[in-house]
Structure 1
Amino acid sequence: MFLSVFDVFKIGIGPSSSHTMGPMSAANRFLALLLTDDWPKPATAVVSHLKVSLHGSLAYTGIGHGSGRAVILGLAGEKPDTVDPDAMDGIIARVEETSQVCPPGHPAYDFKPDEDLVFDKKNPLPGHANGMTFSALDTQGRILLKRIYYSIGGGFVVTDTELEALRKGGSDAAKTVRVPYPFSSAREMLEMARSSGRTIAQMKRANEEIIVSRDELNARLDQIWEAMNGCIDRGLRNEGIMPGGLKVKRRAHDIHEKLNVEWRSNRPNPLLANDWLSVYAMAVNEENAAGGRVVTAPTNGAAGVVPATVRYFRHFHDDASIDDIRDFLLTAAAIGGIIKHNASISGAEVGCQGEVGSASAMAAAGFAAVMGGSPEQVENAAEIALEHHLGMTCDPIAGLVQIPCIERNALGAVKAVTAASLALKGNGEHFVPLDACIETMRQTGNDMSEKYKETSTGGLAVNVVEC
């Protein structure tokens, strides 16, 4: 099994990888398909009209997550990693005004968002909670092409047939690459580390370098970190009220100012570690909530945990190097890949244990690795962090990735460092294997009520409003 570090960490926009980046990418895929001969297009047919319906969790929380906006942007030809966040409102306004999308390389297609973009809460699609249907019609309103896509977390998008193949263990893209260390579980990862004498980061690097050169790998890892770090900086700098109607005030800027005053005064603070971890994580997720540029880690809803932990490491370790950051990201990606392969990173599928829980496990592993931990200690750190997120629901108020998501990232970062510290105090031996914890998370997610899986129909999303 091979899942690239750049599949786990993807540059995109907020507020959600599954509900924003996923629908935008699905629209990109549908547009690309229209230009091919890979569908039975009648000889004289001309596509003139597009329609989209969102189902399941996308229908319930899509407005708060910006799913409709993402579809419009995607049909206009914009992509998650290159769209200008400052230009998005203008693009959407033009589509609404003209009732057309004009993607580059395509003719103009009729598309009236109020009529052609449907949030269908009554008819969930069978494959996954995040389902979408894209249709292309001719001038007579006849459907020429219809495709179902699923956004399965972390910005990953698959068709219904691709999803079926994945669940059957078929030939997904992650399995077509032959790599020297093809671990698909934590147990296999540790066995390969022992037999090779390599660290987890070294094995992950060897796998990646089958695809790209060392120089390109390093450059792309540095780009990921620069995007993460830049997101923290913007979040610490920006102030005001976040969009969406809850009127939630950004707090990271004010907290950061207070911490800097305290830092310069050299006053003792027993909460110092927690404070810095929290403010870094909150900065990222406030940017995410505002629709800014973020990196999936492994999702947007959990995007603050890994960057906060890396930034904390750099802040308090003067000898931290760029190689340390690369090793951190490689180690974290190895853990994230195992979790995604054997369970899920989707809040709509397994709740927030799959998002912040996975992110905390990834961050704990990366932190333990750069602190000199053995592969066994790294695996132990990941297990501790994930274990103590088991059962966590995904119940965003008003469908917005704000409450409890922003603070939840702060606590996920704190747990990650605590888990790494506990693991580093031992020798790597522990009672619950990471694989068992991941399987428990999967089972817990399957048993969890749909009310608590990113539908905003239960938990805080209901009780706070009722109060």
Structure 2
Amino acid sequence: MEGRWRRHWYSIGGGFVRKEGEEPQAESAVQLPFPIDTNNDLLHWCRKTGMSISEVVMENEAAWRPEAETRAGVLKIWETMRECIYRGCHAEGMLPGGLNVKRRAAALNHKLIAGRRYADFEGWVKAIREGGNGFKYTLDWVSCFALAVNEENASFGRVVTAPTNGAAGVIPAVLLYYVIFCDGFSDEKVLQYILTGSEIGSIFKKGATISAAMGGCQAEIGVSSAMAAAALTECVGGSQRQAMMAAEIAMEHHLGLTCDPIGGLVQIPCIERNTMGAIKAITASQLALQSTPDFAKVSLDAVISTMWNTAQDMNSKYKETSDGGLAVQIPLGLKEC
């Protein structure tokens, strides 16, 4: 009976799976009001309509389903993200796989919360806010959020593939930073953030790749950082071009990032790398908000093209194969600090 119910599924990259023997479905012939393949396309529609990035995305999504369905779907994504962070910030123990990596988010959460009491997510958010908004305090919380998600990922917990599982911590960490420390705790702002970030990710996928097996970690952490940077920038009042500039800055400083997971597990350096991507996203957003895009020397399309060229030139041992880099330098079984 066991064999009768067994099914085989295969990862085809970017968080997508396909059942064995299943033929890929033809794309539905949907006429989008604002077709977008490149950043220049997105910029064109934003200029022509005066709409924000998230508004353009919502109009395009309406070609597939009613707006109410899109809103409900996006908010379900946010619900799953926050449940993942909350769960990861309260789970202790060792991660499976044999590397003896200790989960750190729960201990960091306990230290930062400093005895303040809460019973649920909303109470937790209130308790975090009560600790203030000092730079070090905020920085530690962003790291804690990202660690929590990717420790959940490494222990088979439920995460949102954004844009991949290995880079799933960046976007929710920056979103929760915005919710808690920038007063973004509203459905409208969450929708704006996720819609904006998703469009940037889509442009990267069309113009390059979001798979570390094809492009190294620049294609995963780099893309997630760019998505989060653009999303945060729009949510805090940046212009469309500033949001695109933030995405460009974030990716520019991830170019060439290799993927060399120790033991082939998405643990070292992957979990910590999400904290780096989240902090870079916030920094990129701040830089863009204090800049004039007219004077930018590098466009988002140029950096996407550069990332893809770099991916093609990158040696295969640095593309998720664990055949180079840290993966061959660190003996298996070594405990992470």
Q: Which amino acid aligns with 1:306?
A: I
Given that 2:178 and 2:184 are in contact with CA atoms closer than 8 Å, whether structure 1 keeps it comes out as no
Give the distance between the partners of 2:33 and 2:220, measured in 1 at CA.
Answer: 29
SS of 2:159's partner is strand
Indicate the residue corresponding to 1:102 in structure 2. 5
Give the distance between the partners of 2:74 and 2:14, measured in 1 at CA.
Answer: 21
Query: Can you list the C-alpha shifts for 1:238-265, whole angstroms capped at 9, x where unaligned?
Result: 0000000001000000111111129688
Give the distance between the partners of 2:163 and 2:238, measured in 1 at CA.
Answer: 22
Unpaired stretches in structure 1, ≥5 consecutive residues: 1-97, 104-108, 110-133, 135-147, 164-170
Largest Rg, 1 or 2: 1
> 1:102 offset after TM fit, Å?
1.2
Give the distance between the partners of 2:250 and 2:274, measured in 1 at CA.
Answer: 13
> 1:320 offset after TM fit, Å?
3.3
Given that 1:229 and 1:307 are in contact with CA atoms closer than 8 Å, whether structure 2 keeps it comes out as yes
1:204 aligns to 2:61 (yes or no)? no
How many residues matched? 320
Give the distance between the partners of 1:179 and 1:356, measured in 2 at CA.
Answer: 29
- Which of 176, 184, 194 is the equivalent residue of 1:329? 194
> Within 5 Å, which residues of 2 pair with 1:8-407?
100-102=3-5, 151-155=12-16, 157=18, 173=27, 176-261=29-114, 269-318=134-183, 320-407=185-272
Given that 1:395 and 1:455 are in contact with CA atoms closer than 8 Å, whether structure 2 keeps it comes out as yes
SS of 1:465's partner is coil
> 1:317 offset after TM fit, Å?
2.5
> 1:267 offset after TM fit, Å?
7.9
Indicate the residue corresponding to 1:460 in structure 2. 326
1:428 aligns to 2:293 (yes or no)? yes
Distance 1:383-1:289 versus aligned 2 partners, 3 A rule: same
Given that 2:96 and 2:155 are in contact with CA atoms closer than 8 Å, whether structure 1 keeps it comes out as yes
Given that 1:155 and 1:299 are in contact with CA atoms closer than 8 Å, whether structure 2 keeps it comes out as no
> 1:158 offset after TM fit, Å?
9.8
Distance 1:352-1:319 versus aligned 2 partners, 3 A rule: closer
> 1:192 offset after TM fit, Å?
1.0
Distance 1:152-1:254 versus aligned 2 partners, 3 A rule: same
Indicate the residue corresponding to 1:414 in structure 2. 279
Distance 1:162-1:276 versus aligned 2 partners, 3 A rule: same
Given that 2:129 and 2:181 are in contact with CA atoms closer than 8 Å, whether structure 1 keeps it comes out as no
Give the distance between the partners of 1:368 and 1:275, measured in 2 at CA.
Answer: 21
Given that 1:351 and 1:452 are in contact with CA atoms closer than 8 Å, whether structure 2 keeps it comes out as yes
Distance 1:310-1:446 versus aligned 2 partners, 3 A rule: same
Give the distance between the partners of 2:307 and 2:105, measured in 1 at CA.
Answer: 31
Q: Say what the alpha-carbon RMSD is for the aligned residues.
A: 2.5
Q: Which amino acid aligns with 1:228?
A: M
Distance 1:254-1:392 versus aligned 2 partners, 3 A rule: same
Q: Percent identity?
A: 47
Distance 1:150-1:244 versus aligned 2 partners, 3 A rule: closer
SS of 1:294's partner is coil
Give the distance between the partners of 1:180 and 1:347, measured in 2 at CA.
Answer: 32
Distance 1:176-1:160 versus aligned 2 partners, 3 A rule: farther
> 1:154 offset after TM fit, Å?
2.4
Give the distance between the partners of 2:17 and 2:297, measured in 1 at CA.
Answer: 33
Give the distance between the partners of 1:345 and 1:391, measured in 2 at CA.
Answer: 14
Give the distance between the partners of 1:238 and 1:356, measured in 2 at CA.
Answer: 24
Give the distance between the partners of 1:292 and 1:265, measured in 2 at CA.
Answer: 29
Distance 1:102-1:277 versus aligned 2 partners, 3 A rule: same
Pick which of 149-158 and 307-316 moved more.
149-158
Distance 1:182-1:157 versus aligned 2 partners, 3 A rule: farther
Query: Can you list the C-alpha shifts for 1:389-438, whole angstroms capped at 9, x where unaligned?
Result: 10001101001110000000011000000000100111323110001101
SS of 1:271's partner is helix
Give the distance between the partners of 1:246 and 1:191, measured in 2 at CA.
Answer: 49
Distance 1:150-1:268 versus aligned 2 partners, 3 A rule: closer
Give the distance between the partners of 1:158 and 1:198, measured in 2 at CA.
Answer: 39
Q: Which amino acid aligns with 1:258?
A: K
Give the distance between the partners of 2:182 and 2:30, measured in 1 at CA.
Answer: 37
Unpaired stretches in structure 2, ≥5 consecutive residues: 116-127
SS of 1:151's partner is strand
Distance 1:369-1:159 versus aligned 2 partners, 3 A rule: farther
Query: Can you list the C-alpha shifts for 1:145-181, whole angstroms capped at 9, x where unaligned?
Result: xxx9761322255999989xxxxxxx962x7321111
SS of 1:407's partner is helix
